[in-house]
Structure 1
Amino acid sequence: MATIEECRAALDALAAKLAENADSVRGKVDLDRTLAAEITDLPAHFHGRLAQGRLIDIADGDDPDAKIRLIVGSDDLIALVAGDLDFGRAFASGRVKIKANLFDLLKLKALL
């Protein structure tokens, strides 16, 4: 099981990866939503905002009003960000859950 600090670092790494691609998706993906991440095997929640192809304002704690909710185990989060776990397969198998409306899911897929 990963630590809370490793999960925070993984989210920061994800934010950096999204920032690298932000210019290429900015015109294609109009997604400005709050995001919350629940780490299922740790007492940890994080929240931030997806805006202009970037993940910004990452902070500790839950956002119960978030429009997009990521539910994932700590080791799976680390593996996803590292590229060791395929997002589509993890989502299909239930290892990663995303609660969002259908249109946001499609836009989110374009970001990843």
Structure 2
Amino acid sequence: MATMEECRSALRRLSDNLAAAGGGVRDAAALDRSLSCHITDLDITFTGRLTDGRIEGPPREKAGIRLTMTGDDLVALVDGDLNFAKAWASGRVRLEAGFRDLLKLRSLL
């Protein structure tokens, strides 16, 4: 089971990856939205604001993009060992967002 620090580190790496991305991934990550990532096995929620492809600071409002998964799945996703689309389709990862955000994020899948 991934620890809280491993999850925090994975989210930092995800932020770095999004900020360094180019093309369609960069366009999809260029949203300005609050987000949360609930880690079910640790019963902890990380929150931040996705701005210009980087996850920073606390959000100003309730998360517009919400992810739910285990810590191990978060680490595996960021490390590239777990395919997001397959994990989402199988229910291992839950993504809640508005319809427009889902359309924008689909290129990340």
**Fold shared by both chains (TM-score > 0.5):** yes
Which letter maps to 2:5?
E
Unaligned runs of 5+ in 1: none
* Residue 7 of structure 1: aligned partner: 7
Contact kept in structure 1, 2:15 and 2:54, CA below 8 Å: yes
TM-score by length of 1: 0.84
TM-score by length of 2: 0.86
* Residue 55 of structure 1: aligned partner: 55
Pairing 1:18–2:18 present: yes
SS at match of 2:45: strand
Shift of 1:27: 8.0
* Residue 38 of structure 2: aligned partner: 38
SS at match of 2:62: coil
Contact kept in structure 2, 1:25 and 1:53, CA below 8 Å: no
Number of residues of Structure 1 aligned to a counterpart in Structure 2: 108
Stretches of 4+ moved more than 6 A in 1? none
Contact kept in structure 2, 1:41 and 1:73, CA below 8 Å: yes
Percentage of pairs with the same residue: 50
Shift of 1:25: 4.9
